Amino acid sequence: METWSFWMIWVTLGAGMFIYYLRRFHTIRSLLWGTLTGLAGLLLLHYCGGWFGFSPELNLFNIMQAGILGIPGVILMTVLHFVL
């Protein structure tokens, strides 16, 4: 049950971002900009995260989270690390 709910949350978030990008005037440009800023934020947090006490690994899940959700995904990852 936990695995199913975990994946349903991520599918819902991904679908929400997909709908958000489809409603933008420049769909492709918005998608690329969101993906690039998310990946840049993840790399910045990975290499400079020692200052904050959190340096996430560069694995497939974290890269997909930053790529799909962008900067809000990186912020969510950081907040959840400190809250949980």
pLDDT tens readout for residues 5-57: 778 877 888 888 888 888 888 888 888 898 999 999 999 999 998 898 889 99
Output the pLDDT for position 58: 93
Give the angle 73-51-10 at the CA atoms, nearest 5°.
15
Q: What is the pLDDT of residue 83?
A: 84
Helix (H) or strand (E) holding 4, with range, is helix 2-23
CA gap 52, 24 in Å, rounded: 34
Name which residue leads in pLDDT, 59 or 3.
Answer: 59
CB atoms within 10 A of CB 62: 18
Q: What is the mean pLDDT of residues 75-80?
A: 87
Whether 3 has a pLDDT exceeding 80, the answer reads no
**H or E segment at 7?**
helix 2-23
Q: Quote the pLDDT of residue 1.
A: 64
